[in-house]
Amino acid sequence: MRKCYKCGQKATVYLPQHRIAFCKEHYIEWYLKRVEETIKEFRMFGKGDRVLVAVSGGKDSLSLWDALYRLGYDADGFYINLGIGEYSKRSQLACEKFANQRGLVLHVFELEKAVASVPALKELENRPACSFCGQLKRYYTNKFAKERGYKVVATGHNLDDETAVLLSNVLSWQMDYLSRQSPVLSEGEGFVRRVKPLVKFSEKENALYAFLAKIEYVEEECPFAEGASSIEHKKLLSLLEEKSPGTKLRFYMDFLRRMRPMLKAEQVALRPCSLCGEPTTGEVCSVCRLKERVAKASLSSSPSS
Ligand code: SF4
Ligand code: ZN
Ligand code: ZN
């Protein structure tokens, strides 16, 4: 029987990459301490800063919001309803319930009202939903945070997400992407600071926290997530992790400490979009261009009078 490293009672959790076991109470304590240490290590934000947590209703983002709440940070939630049928309804409900139970503020943004639903856009654009969905989420989260005076946007990206992206960037030597891969993206030029306080936790560790902290999250994945290449990279890395626990954390942290400082980010000239004012490289930003295509499509499909 494994014993808790802290109190010696029967352990509930064993973390092979850290070779450490905890009971429920001390796992929660360890998790919270590690979140706080990560926030401080990467100078993400302080106790007086207003933080907007981008929540999806899943285990990672709700664990993040819960941890920030318990640690005493000033963190509100931001949920974007993507209009993906029952999945979006259940996810919104999970976020609302979470916020109500803790007396927290949740802002809900409806993509269908601002542009169109993700399924409708997929049909119109005829390309993978994630290619525009990620961009739309970033655009509206950033815009909302700026308008409402939030200092920083926090997302629930975990170690599995980050190492899958890292592997894919390394496999194709995407030097520019590599130079910008970081748990903190600085503010400036129309962008609010973006941080990822859960980068040192695996998906499993977040699921464990959510379970032990009694967070009611949505287990089902977005129906459009299937087939994304990141899933293959995640599987590959998990095989390596199984054989040699700690591989993912080493791969990611060594990249940040040893490789990234040697890379120089390409300077891209940004200017305000002539239609919405958000930062872009061209005259009109990609979200405004997408909105124009949506308007055109709905005009051509409406019956002529
Ligand atoms: Fe959007 Fe779903 Fe793709 Fe995530 S998996 S970016 S929610 S379409
Ligand atoms: Zn214990
Ligand atoms: Zn624009």
Counting ligand 1 atoms within 8 A of each CB, the residue from 87, 95, 221, 224 with the most, and so the one to mutate, is 224
The span from the CA of 196 to the CA of 68, in Å, is 12
The verdict on residue 18 lying in a domain is: no
What's the 7 CA to ligand 1 centre distance in angstroms?
41
Q: Which atom of ligand 1 is nearest to the CA of 223?
A: 2
- Whole-number Å distance between alpha carbons of 156 and 158: 6
Closest protein CA for atom 6 of ligand 1: 130
When divided into structural domains, the chain yields a total of: 2
Is position 54 within any domain?
yes
Q: Answer yes or no: do 181 and 275 share one domain.
A: no
Instruction: Give the structural domain span for 286.
Output: 268-300
Regarding the beta carbon of 224 and ligand 1, being less than 6 Å apart is answered yes
Checking 177-182 for CB contacts under 8 A at 24+ apart, the result is: 178/259, 178/260, 178/263, 179/260, 179/263, 179/264, 179/265, 179/266, 180/265, 181/255, 181/260, 182/256, 182/260
Tokens standing for residue 213: 């902290």
Nearest ligand (C-alpha, residue 289): 3
Is the C-beta atom of 225 inside 6 A of ligand 1?
Answer: yes
Pocket test for ligand 1, best of 118, 139, 161, 231 (most atoms within 8 A of CB): 118
| CB atoms closer than 10 angstroms to residue 223 | 13
Q: How far is the centre of ligand 3, averaged over its atoms, from the C-alpha of 1 (Å)?
A: 59
Same domain, 293 and 254: no
Tens digit of each residue's pLDDT, the chain (305 residues):
899 999 999 999 999 999 999 999 999 999 999 999 999 999 999 999 999 999 999 999 999 999 999 999 999 999 999 999 999 999 999 999 999 999 999 999 999 999 999 999 999 999 899 989 999 999 999 999 999 999 999 999 999 999 999 999 999 999 999 999 999 999 988 999 999 999 999 999 999 999 999 999 999 999 998 666 788 899 999 999 999 999 999 999 999 999 999 998 777 889 999 999 999 999 999 999 999 999 999 877 766 54
Q: How far is the CA of 59 from the centre of ligand 3 (A)?
A: 32
Answer yes or no: do 156 and 75 share one domain: yes
Nearest to 297 by CA among 125, 104, 108: 125
Same domain? For 219 and 296 the reply is no
**Cα 202 to ligand 2 centre (Å):** 21
Are 249 and 292 members of one domain? no
- And the tokens for 175? 């030097």
- Nearest CA residue ID for atom 7, ligand 1: 222
Give the span between the Cα atoms of 218 and 222, in whole angstroms: 10
pLDDT in the model for residue 305: 43
Q: How many whole angstroms separate alpha carbon 192 and alpha carbon 78?
A: 14
Ligand nearest, relative to CA of residue 121: 1
For the whole prediction, is pTM greater than 0.85? yes
Q: Kindly state whether residues 64 and 99 are assigned to the same domain.
A: yes
Question: Count of CB atoms within 10 A of residue 154's CB?
Answer: 27
Nearest CA to ligand 1 atom 8: 130
CB 80 within 8 A of CB 153: no
Residues 214 and 95 in one domain: yes
Residue 215, C-beta contacts closer than 8 angstroms, at least 6 positions apart: 59, 62, 63, 66, 98, 209
100: three-class secondary structure by DSSP? helix
Residues near 28 by beta carbon (within 8 Å), at least 6 away in sequence: 209, 212, 213
Residue nearest to ligand 1 atom 5, measured at CA: 225
Q: Is residue 4 part of a domain?
A: no
Do 260 and 275 have their domain in common? no
Do the domain assignments include residue 237? Answer: yes
**Do residue 295 and residue 240 come from a single domain?**
no
CATH of the domain at 62: 3.40.50.620
SS3 at position 298: helix
Q: Is the dihedral of CA 227, 233, 239, 241 positive or negative?
A: negative
Q: Tell me the ligand closest to 130's alpha carbon.
A: 1
Residue 302: per-residue pLDDT = 66
Looking at the fold, whether 278 and 181 belong to one and the same domain comes out as no
The reply to whether 170 falls in a domain is yes
Least Cα distance to 180 among 190, 192, 194 occurs for 194
C-beta separation of 166 from 181 below 8 A: yes
> Cα(129) to centroid of ligand 3, in Å?
20
The number of residues making up the chain comes to: 305
* Domain match, 272 and 132 both: no
Q: Is residue 199 part of a domain?
A: yes
Is 162 part of any domain?
A: yes
Residues 288 and 243 in one domain: no
In angstroms, the CA 106 to CA 116 distance is 22
Residue 52 lies in a domain: yes
